[in-house]
Chain A
Amino acid sequence: MTALGSGNGASPAPGALRLRGLSFAFATHGGGSLPVLDGIDLAIPAGGIVALVGPNGCGKSTLLRVIAGLLQPGGGEAWIDARPIIGPDPRIGLVFQEPRLLPWRSAADNITYPLELAGWPPDRRRERLATLSELVGLDPAVTASRPAELSGGTRQRVALARSLALEPEVLLLDEPFSALDALTRERFDLELLRLWQRAATTIVIVTHSIPEAILVADRVVVLSARPAGIVADVTIDLPRPRAIAALDDAVAVRASHRIRRQLEDDEADETAGARAATLPTPTELAS
């Protein structure tokens, strides 16, 4: 089974993402500009999964926000299929590092919040809620609870369901499971893959964890320190469906070494005084 195998072979699934010469700079207080992204070129086929890794503060999250249409690029453009991304886009679902739920709403009302904003009538929202809860493996009994009453993992499940509410073609995840403990995180990585097989979306996931990147992605894209450019695009040639044991595969180990070397080289290139990026340690791979 190939990496693009989510689409069952009929008409080509939508959701091919293309970035061309994408650059972005933050305005500084002094009136200058701080370049964050420097000419990013990236093509992700519909239904593909790409993980973005890179040193801390290199602009991974900024890149995700530019793709999400939350930030306007200074140069270049981003496309989904044949249509450019010019702002927040219903074709894109977004999962943040923290669940970012509305604390005054029940889990159910959080999940259907995008539908409410889009003007769906309540009965259709209820139907969709059932589908979404089932899709992300959310116990229907907890959907009446407020976020404060839920565990961290359940909250992120709710956030995941919310991001899928409008059936996006592309799902962007910004270190989505980094607040979870290691075991829960692995479970969520695998569930994300199951979800991907059913929801047939293109996925871009930003992560700090090399094992996570290798476990979920078709390709791991390594970004340089700021301003971020692509320094490596490592294909992960592991069969799907994958299990945790896939990380012990020689392919995974080689990919991991390669990614780590790229990150370390880049770190060595940084000028003196630049803060050291906290990279995952080799022991993490042993999990």
Chain B
Amino acid sequence: MTRSASLSVLAAFAAFVLIWKAVVVVSGLPPYILPPPETVAIRLVGAWRDGTIEPHLGTTLIEVGLGFGVGAVLALVAGYGLARSAVVERLLSPYLVAAQAIPILALAPLLVLWFGNGLLSKVVICSLIVFFPVAVATMVGIRAVDARLLELGRSLRATRRQVLFTLEIPAALPNILGGMRVGVTLAVVGALVGEWAGANQGLGVLINLARGSLFDIPLMFATLVTIALVGIVLYLIVVAFERRLVGNR
């Protein structure tokens, strides 16, 4: 990032904090409804220091990582099948759309009932929510592969495997990574929804604790900030991958 770009990002963040502070001052809302930014900042640092956040963050990151990984890999396979086989598309797409139409929020309690309070149910929920955008992006990307390049591959007697790895995947990569950008942020949502539906640890659990038994609203905000940071960092990781892989085409 250039210097002026970094400066503008900082300026926008400063403006956000200032407006937050202004709302607190002007509205006179009590801190258990809207704590001022400095209180949240102090609580965030405190919660990191005393180890309140860390185990919950670790749990959530594992859920997101595994859920995204499993969901994305399955979606790549399914997306390829959807793009290349009319039969697969006919058979699979109704379920795909139906699964996407049912809100994950409504599905999560059932999945926790089936797969338990632990990691498994969260991975399933994350995978499910990641699956759709990545599968659709893969399908679109593979379908958009230039038929002329495929003809070139055929004229050079490329095997199916060579066509897949040297033509189709590289050509579809910008689309696939676009789907992953969406998928990775949804994975965080999936993990939190899963934790809300039933879990012993995770940032979603911490929010519930902060609101309920602990009644520590600044901690709740500090957790929200942490969640936002997780989302931003994961997104940036995908963007960095994208730059590296397809940046200079």
Contact = CB atoms under 8 A, between A and B. Distances in A.
A114 interface: yes
Given A88-B157, A90-B157, A116 B152 contact: no
Interface of A: 68-70, 87-88, 90, 92, 94, 96, 98, 100, 102-104, 113-114, 116-118, 146, 148
Contacts, number: 45
Interface stretch (B36-44, B102-110, B162-170, B231-239): B162-170
B155 interface: yes
Interface of B: 148-149, 151-159, 162, 166-167, 170-171, 173, 246, 248-249
A102 B149 contact: yes
A113 B249 CA distance: 17
Central interface residue in A113, A118, A146, by most chain B CB within 10 Å: A113
14 contacts: A69-B155, A70-B155, A88-B155, A88-B156, A92-B155, A94-B155, A98-B148, A102-B166, A104-B170, A104-B173, A113-B156, A113-B166, A117-B157, A117-B158
A88 B156 CA distance: 7
B155 A68 contact: yes
A70 B149 CA distance: 13
B167 A102 contact: yes
A169 to B, nearest CB: 15
Contact of A70 (B154, B166, B171, B173): B154
A96 B148 contact: yes
B162 A117 contact: yes
Contacts of B246: 104
Nearest to A116: B166
A94 B153 CA distance: 11
A62 B151 CA distance: 13
Contacts of B149: 100, 102
Contacts of A103: 249
Contacts of B154: 70, 88
A70 B249 contact: no
A167 to B, nearest CB: 14
A100 B171 CA distance: 13
Contacts of A68: 155
Contacts of A117: 153, 156-159, 162, 166
Contacts of A146: 248-249
Nearest to A109: B166
Given A87-B157, A94-B155, A103-B249, 6 more contacts: A88-B156, A96-B152, A100-B152, A113-B156, A114-B156, A117-B158
A116 B166 CA distance: 10
Contact of A102 (B155, B170, B248): B170
Nearest to B158: A117
A284 B149 CA distance: 33
A92 B148 CA distance: 18
B227 to A, nearest CB: 35
Contacts of A70: 151, 154-155
A70 B169 CA distance: 23
Nearest to B146: A100
A183 to B, nearest CB: 27
Contacts of B159: 117
Contacts of B158: 117
A68 to B, nearest CB: 6
Contacts of A113: 156, 166
Nearest to B159: A117
Contacts of B162: 117
Contacts of A87: 157
Contacts of B148: 96, 98, 100
Nearest to B174: A104
Contacts of A69: 155
A92 B156 CA distance: 9
Contacts of B167: 102
Contacts of A94: 152, 155
Nearest to A69: B155
A146 B229 CA distance: 36
A148 B249 contact: yes
B165 to A, nearest CB: 11
Contacts of B152: 94, 96, 100
A146 B162 CA distance: 21
Contacts of A96: 148, 152
B152 to A, nearest CB: 5
A102 B151 CA distance: 12
Contacts of A116: 166
